[in-house]
Structures are given as structure tokens and as C-alpha cells.
Amino acid sequence: MGNRGTPRRISATLVFCSLLALAAGCAAPPAEEPPAPEVDPRAEAEAALGELAAKYLQAVNRGDADGLAVLYTEDAIRLPSDGRRIEGRDAIRLFAAADYADTDWDMQLRVDDSDYSGDLAFVRGTYALTLTSKEDSSVVYQEVGKWMDMMRRGEDGSWLIAREISNRDHPPGEMPADAIPQEEG
């Protein structure tokens, strides 16, 4: 008599397992995540570097030394034409503030080339700069030249300027009439 309950338990277990299998088969399949759009790392880097160049230009043309300085790494180095090396974000901020004190800046940039590898990138181009006196709006200086920046991507994914060099195309005080960089066609 002790074996009489065993077939019932097996039958009940089979029925229960069958119901579970049937319920699992009727359940909706797990929702599939749509595939993430493929991101072209080169296009993403170029867009971010273009945005950095635009912020740079805006800060320079507004005379915003703080806005300019935050676009550089803490250990950035600037090598301006005929000038001393400027090291560090704070020194860049102070140098820019002194530059902006008496003059309004109008800078145009053209990017001619860029490339990146991992967390480093370089951007190269030309510039035209006109400085006008804040006192009487007269043009006090004009310059055209070339520049190259090395950028570094931070842990948060943003790009900052780590090294910058610029060279004017003419001696100080001389400005060739055809020296303003033109868009390449």
C-alpha cells in the first residue's frame, strides 16, 4: 500500500510540469532590444573636434579668458608666434585675460586637416586675426598664419587642447593684402 501514492505523485508532477511547459510556450518571447545604431568613431571624433574649435573661436571673439581656458587640459602648453611658452590652464587664462584687456579680437579659423588615434587627435589649419582698440575701435593689429593643435580625450569622452602652436605668415606689423585665408573650393 505504501507504493499506491507514488503513481499519483508522478502523475501530478507530470501534469504540473506539462502545465509549466505549456505556459512557457504561450508566454510572449522576451522583448529584443533594437540594435544600437553603429557609430563611426572617426565621424564622432571629427564632430567633437569641430565643436571644440567652434567653442574656441567663440571664446576668443568674445574675449572670454575663462571660457577659453576651460578648453585646455590642466597641463596644456601653448607655443605662440614669437612668444614665450605658456604652460598650464591657469597661465593660459591669465595670458588671454591680458590680451583681451585693451583689444577686441576678431579671429577666423579654417581647418585644413585632422586625424586621430585613440585618445589623441591633431587638427591643423590657418587663421586670420584682427585686433581693434576697445578705446576707439581702430584696428591696431592684423595677422594671418597657421596653427596646429594636439587634442586629448578625457575620461568623460570630451576633447581638450593639450598642445598648441601657431606661426604668423609675415613679420609683425606687416600684413600682405592677399593674406586672409580663403575657403578651399
For 78-87, how does the pLDDT look when each residue is reduced to its tens digit (9 = 90+)? 999 888 999 9
Under 8 Å between Cβ of 116 and 42: yes
The average confidence (pLDDT) of the chain is 83
Instruction: For residue 180, name the pLDDT band (cuts at 50, 70, 90).
Output: low
For the chain, domain boundaries:
41-168
Q: Annotate the chain with DSSP letters as a single string.
A: -TTTHHHHHHHHHHHHHHHHHHHHHHSPPPPPPPPPPP--HHHHHHHHHHHHHHHHHHHHHHT-HHHHHTTEEEEEEEE-TTS--EESHHHHHHHHHHHHHHEEEEEEEEEEEEEEETTEEEEEEEEEEEEEETTT--EEEEEEEEEEEEEEE-TTS-EEEEEEEEEESS-TT---TT-S-----
70: pLDDT strictly greater than 90: yes
Mean pLDDT confidence for 119-131: 94
For 11-61, how does the pLDDT look when each residue is reduced to its tens digit (9 = 90+)? 555 454 454 444 455 555 556 777 766 777 778 888 888 899 999 999 999
3: pLDDT strictly greater than 80: no
Mean pLDDT confidence for 124-138: 94
Mean pLDDT confidence for 161-176: 86
CATH code matching the domain that covers 41-168, chosen among 3.10.450.50, 3.40.50.300, 3.40.50.720, 3.90.850.10: 3.10.450.50
The reported pLDDT for the residue numbered 4 is 55
